Structure 1
Amino acid sequence: MNDFRAGVFLAAAQFPGAAAGDVLADTVEAIVAAEAAGFDDAWIAEHHFMSYGVCPSAVTLAGVALGRTSRIRVGTAVSVLSTQHPVALAEQAAVLHHASGGRFVLGVGRGGPWMDLEVFGTGIERFERGFPESLDLLCAALGSAKVAADGEFFRFREVPMVPPGCADLRPVVACTSGATLALAAERGLPMLLGMHMDDAEKAAMLAGYAKASACADHVAAVVGHVADTTEEARKELADVMPSWLGPGLAGYVTVDGRPKREQDISAYVDRLCRIHPVGSPDHCVETTLTTLRRTGLRHLIYMVEGAGGPARTLQNITRLGAEVLPRVRAGR
């Protein structure tokens, strides 16, 4: 497994009692710790108007983290493309690419039918119909010295891209449906798969992609949490994660009143603990290797904040780096 790459996935989750500003500072410290622990990359989520994640600009916080580190790659998981202008995002990505020596990774997603669309003025149409056009314009702006648009949602004369992007800045696309999978595959862009998927679901997405494209640099999120025993690790997350996920997921407010899918939070946490590397070091190694074998993936990003407190998050990152990752890379 010498080609295995491991990252941390940080939602900037606001657990009860935590101040949003402290959460953001702690997120940067977690990335610094991940670099010291031997992780290859770190990915920051983006959310608006909710406690599920208190980072509304993953690009901005990635810039802070890149300034605090020297080796680790830092990415967005994801920058929501339905609520911002693709050319503006391409400009920001190019700035971070050049200033960091190529260590920035851009992940983008369609987002959801949330109030963000109303607040930022992009509208429900950008979410429902505009993602392909937005993605194509983003890729054009990232890969060309000049860019122009003549589409339904974007129309402007040719302008130079300053600073210019480069081929390394082709985005990773969050895929949760067959339609988005097809969109990414048609363009040869790698997928980012969510932690809600089990191994079989991830394998099915990869198989569907492979029918249209040979791109193999996909990324998948998993929950990663280490304790002395598997029972202890699962109990810790079961006791703490619902206090974040319950209020956090309630923060998703639809822009047009359409009903949201309700779920049993405790059952969801239990499922995450069962399908992901949550447990003793031995269990985490075995579960990670099983996921790699069943799916063909070679790049996983571990959601490490599940226990809530920043000290426990840092401890978890350190233990994953010392007790899990070297054994996974050795294949044992």
Structure 2
Amino acid sequence: MRIGVFLIGAGFPGADPGAVLRDTVAAIEAAERAGFDDAWIAEHHFMTYGVCPSAVTLAAVALGRTSRITVGTAVSVLSARHPVALAEEAALLHHVSRGRFRLGVGRGGPWLELEVFGTGTARFERGFPESLDLLCAALSGGRVGADGEFFRFREVPVMPPARMTPVVACTSEPTARLAAGRGLPMLLGMHVGDAEKAAMIEHYEAHAVRREGGPPPRHIAAAVCHVADSTSRAVRELTDALPRWLEPGLAGYVPVDGRPPPQRDIAKYVDMLCRIHPVGSPEHCVDKILATAGRTGLRHLILMVEGTGVPERTRETIARLGAEVLPALRAR
């Protein structure tokens, strides 16, 4: 199995955003020391749920501070970016890191960045397939041109050229079919349990197009993770801390087109996260991760470890996972 960390850059009340970003990089350095395979950085705009507005930029900083660990974006919001510009940045990091960068992209939502950055709701509603195809073409190692609804330009060489396969965040069956038809791996979110993940993978397989001569896509799933001496203590720590972040953070998802904002019962949501994910003693975390692998077939998990909002506690969780969980997973 590959096990990584997933860092949202969570803006807990009272936290300085600059300090949160520095602590995010420090957590990735700690993950490398602890023996994790990779680290993935989230991207959000105009909200405290996550204070990193450019996962690619922060990944560049983290790559410069590390030497072994792979660093990826989970995800760069494709509906708010020009696909070729994003491909150029990904190719740059691919080369300077000697292959340690991975690009994850997502459709995003009908949020304020569509208005602020001028990409508009039409690209969000129906332009994701065109954007994704253009991104893949720009990461195919050659030239790229466009004559579509949203992008039209003459053919140009992509510099630096790179051959990369993006990961696609999939929260719906239409997006899973889109990824499957292009042979791209999925990134599955931490908001659903094993049964929903398994169903999405089954749906993907029913529509998959295999690349000739290539290995099957290796999907990735995110999960909340927190370690303490006992499972009851780990659950209690997250139950106390997560609502302080989620209540104001989720309120930052402001629809740009007047549709009702998403609503969650925070207490029930936190309870669900603690029940379905590896939150507990080291032994409990090992059992939960192996159970997820067994039920879904997933062999690559990324663990969201910032749940307390305390940077020192985040690094302690990373260190304990490296010392007490990763060796047990690899042994079994």
Query: In structure 1, what is the Cα distance between the partners aligned to 2:297 and 2:217?
Result: 9
Which residue in 1 is equivalent to 2:220? 219
CA offsets per residue over residues 174-204 of structure 1, 9 Å max, x none?
0000100000000000000000010000000
4+ residue segments displaced more than 6 Å: none
Correspondent of 2:182 among 176, 181, 187: 187
Which residue in 2 is equivalent to 1:266? 267
13-22 or 184-193, which deviates more:
13-22
TM-score by length of 2: 0.97
The two structures, once aligned, show a CA RMSD in angstroms of 0.7
Residue 48 of structure 2 is aligned to residue 21 of structure 1: no
AA of the residue aligned to 2:116: V
Matches within 5 A, 1:239-254: 239-254=240-255
Correspondent of 1:205 among 185, 200, 203: 200
Query: In structure 1, what is the Cα distance between the partners aligned to 2:72 and 2:96?
Result: 14
Which residue in 2 is equivalent to 1:146? 143
Query: In structure 1, what is the Cα distance between the partners aligned to 2:168 and 2:217?
Result: 13
Which residue in 2 is equivalent to 1:165? 162
Name the SS of the counterpart of 1:207 in structure 2.
Answer: helix
Name the SS of the counterpart of 1:143 in structure 2.
Answer: coil
Name the SS of the counterpart of 2:12 in structure 1.
Answer: coil
Superposed displacement of residue 326, structure 1: 1.0
Name the SS of the counterpart of 2:71 in structure 1.
Answer: strand
AA of the residue aligned to 1:65: A
Which residue in 2 is equivalent to 1:85? 82
Query: In structure 2, what is the Cα distance between the partners aligned to 1:313 and 1:176?
Result: 27
Which residue in 1 is equivalent to 2:112? 115
AA of the residue aligned to 1:120: F
Correspondent of 1:40 among 31, 37, 40: 37
Superposed displacement of residue 165, structure 1: 1.3
Superposed displacement of residue 260, structure 1: 2.0
Correspondent of 1:73 among 67, 70, 73: 70
Name the SS of the counterpart of 1:54 in structure 2.
Answer: coil
Superposed displacement of residue 144, structure 1: 3.2
Unpaired segments ≥5 residues, structure 1 = none
Query: In structure 1, what is the Cα distance between the partners aligned to 2:15 and 2:221?
Result: 28
Residue 232 of structure 2 is aligned to residue 231 of structure 1: yes
Query: In structure 1, what is the Cα distance between the partners aligned to 2:147 and 2:162?
Result: 21
Query: In structure 2, what is the Cα distance between the partners aligned to 1:201 and 1:324?
Result: 25
Superposed displacement of residue 261, structure 1: 2.6
Residue 56 of structure 2 is aligned to residue 55 of structure 1: no
Query: In structure 2, what is the Cα distance between the partners aligned to 1:253 and 1:180?
Result: 22
Superposed displacement of residue 97, structure 1: 0.2
TM-score by length of 1: 0.97
Name the SS of the counterpart of 1:221 in structure 2.
Answer: strand
Determine if contact 2:253/2:262 at 8 Å carries over to the other structure: no
Unpaired segments ≥5 residues, structure 2 = 211-215
Aligned residues: 326
Query: In structure 1, what is the Cα distance between the partners aligned to 2:217 and 2:308?
Result: 32
Superposed displacement of residue 216, structure 1: 3.6
CA offsets per residue over residues 274-319 of structure 1, 9 Å max, x none?
0000001111011111000000000000000001110000000001
Name the SS of the counterpart of 1:42 in structure 2.
Answer: strand
